Structure 1
Amino acid sequence: MSVARTIREKLTAAFDPVALEVEDQSERHRGHAGWREGGETHFHVRIRARAFAGRGRVEAQRMVHKALAEELAGPIHALSLDLGGPDRP
């Protein structure tokens, strides 16, 4: 299974998001630390879920990092996050 698909499935299971976008940005980092042939090393995730409503940025990031702990210890080199409650654009 692809890393992007695993990210989608784990975040969906953990947060039941109203919006979820997972973008593989690995090619933008070709030649940089952590980059591997075939990509799936650098990701940007945009997620909107009730679980993040009223939570601070750091707390919400920790929640996502916990859900993706296995991937962050392995195939994911970099993960940028855009998190918010369901009413955030």
Structure 2
Amino acid sequence: MATSKLPVTEEIRARLDAAFDPRDLTVTDDSAAHAGHAGAPAGGESHFSVRMRSDALAGMSRLARHRAVHDAIGPELMGRIHALALDLAE
């Protein structure tokens, strides 16, 4: 997928919406709290938290849920993210 002009939070949200049709999805840019830390670029958009509730996650182990989210976000976008905290449930 080509690099988008959308903020990373919006890219993450759009990809997770498309993949999981969640009934609850919050994507938060936590980058400001990590400014100056190793791996935190000056422009931000590097540290994110995702809270998602979706029936599509039913029956998956915690590891499988995390892998599914990473796959849905895609390698190009994951490569631009330094840290991703996930709170996932069905």
TM-score between the two structures when normalised by the length of structure 1: 0.89
Please name the residue that 2:49 is paired with.
44
Cα offset for 1:38? 2.7
Please name the residue that 2:77 is paired with.
71
Q: Identity of counterpart residues, as a percentage?
A: 50
Which deviations, in whole Å up to 9, do the C-alpha atoms of 1:12-38 show, x marking residues without a partner? Answer: 000000000001000111111221123
Kindly report the root-mean-square deviation, in angstroms, between the aligned alpha carbons of the 2 structures.
Answer: 0.9
Structure 1 residue 3 corresponds to structure 2 residue 8: yes
Structure 1 residue 30 corresponds to structure 2 residue 39: no
Which residue identity lines up with residue 56 of structure 2 in the other structure? A
Larger mean Cα displacement after TM superposition, 27-36 or 44-53: 27-36
Q: How does 1:4-23 map to 2 (within 5 A)?
A: 4-23=9-28
TM-score between the two structures when normalised by the length of structure 2: 0.88
Please name the residue that 1:53 is paired with.
58
Q: How many residues align?
A: 84
